[in-house]
Amino acid sequence: MKSFTTLALSFFSFSSVLQGQNLTKTSDSKWLLSYTLGIPIAIGNFSSDDILNSEAGFAGGGVGSALSLDYNYKSSKLGISAEILSQVNFFKSNSYQREVLRNYGENWIIYGNTYNRIGYLIGLNYSEALSKNTQLKIRGMFGPTLNTSPQIFNYQSSNQWFLQNSMSDVAFGYSIGAAIQRKISKKLDFNFDMHFLGSRPRFTDIDYYFSNGDIEYYDKTIPFTTISLNAGISYRIN
Spell out the SS3 assignment of 95-163.
HHHHHHHHHHCCCCEEEECEEEEEEEEEEEEEEEECCCCEEEEEEEEEEEEEEECCCEEEEEECCEEEE
Q: Where are the domains of the chain?
A: 21-237
CATH, domain range 21-237: 2.40.160.70
Segments in the chain below pLDDT 70: 1-29
Task: Give residue 107's pLDDT.
Answer: 85
Kindly report the pTM of this predicted structure: 0.82
Q: Percent of the chain at pLDDT above 90?
A: 72
What tens digit of pLDDT does each residue of 219-228 get?
999 999 999 9
